[in-house]
Amino acid sequence: MLNKLYDWVDERLDITPLWRDIADHEVPEHVNPAHHFSAFVYCFGGMTFFVTVIQILSGMFLTMYYVPDIKNAWESVYYLQNEVAFGKIVRGMHHWGASLVLVMMFLHTLRVFFQGAYKKPRELNWIVGVLIFFVMLGLGFTGYLLPWDMKALFATKVGLQIAESTPFIGSYVKVLLAGHEHIVGAQTLTRFFAIHVFFLPAVLFGLLAAHFIMIRKQGISGPL
């Protein structure tokens, strides 16, 4: 049944080369943990992506209950965590996953660094990777405010002060982020929500696409 459906579509649109090009390629022996167990270090990049997918999915579902409004944000988080079935699990995935992404990304960076895999011709991919790292930090920073509890509020106040200490443009950066010169309030929460849910993920998708296309184009770096 499914085969017939696939053939029907493939006959018209020739989709086989599309997924072949993405999925059908050999993994070199030095990258395969079945040959050399130490090759597990090559998994960290994929693990980062895996946790990122979990973050995207759990985040999408969290927005079914969450509202970025200073009167209701905390209540909505309390409700989705304590009243909604599996709320603890879904919010827990997003909460712990946020830290796990950074851990995995860090391990991935260590592997690339110590294997020298960033060297020519892969310098551009290192740069894109560093940009991904910054976007992830931005996602962590903006997401931290959204529960709108005391910890979130004061962590954000400190974070905004750090942004403000940027030479020359600091005060503008702070107002752009907070939405107000002095108040960390209603506009800050909506801004952080927008940045967390729309702006940074859009940037992230672009960077991830570039990261993966470059890997496919250049292949995995050779054995040490």
| 145 part of the interface to other proteins, by CB under 8 A | no
Sign of CA dihedral 124, 170, 177, 78: positive
Q: How far apart are CA 97 and CA 178, in angstroms?
A: 26
215 burial type by CB count under 10 A (0-12 exposed, 13-18 middle, 19+ buried): middle
Could you say which residues in the range 70-129 bind other proteins, by CB under 8 A?
70-71
Quick note: the x/- pattern for other proteins over 52-71, rule CB under 8 A, is ------------------xx
Q: Which is nearer to other proteins, 83 or 181 (CB)?
A: 181
Which of 28, 179, 201, 206 is the binder for other proteins (CB under 8 A)? 179
* Closest distance to other proteins from the beta carbon of 56 (Å): 24
Q: What angle do CA 132, 135, 137 make, to 5 degrees?
A: 110
**Cα dihedral 26→31→33→37 (10° resolution):** 160
| 161 part of the interface to other proteins, by CB under 8 A | yes
* Closest distance to other proteins from the beta carbon of 188 (Å): 9
* Closest distance to other proteins from the beta carbon of 179 (Å): 5
| 172 part of the interface to other proteins, by CB under 8 A | yes
| 183 part of the interface to other proteins, by CB under 8 A | yes
* Closest distance to other proteins from the beta carbon of 171 (Å): 9
Q: Indicate the helix (H) or strand (E) that contains 138.
A: helix 123-145
Q: Which two tokens stand for residue 165?
A: 């200490």
Q: Which stretch binds other proteins (CB under 8 A): 6-14, 76-84, 119-127, 173-181?
A: 173-181
Residue of 194, 52, 220, 215 whose CA lies nearest to 128: 215
| 175 part of the interface to other proteins, by CB under 8 A | yes
Distance of CA 184 to the CA centre of its chain: 25
Q: Which residues bind other proteins (CB under 8 A)?
A: 70-71, 154, 157-158, 161, 172, 175-176, 178-181, 183, 185-187
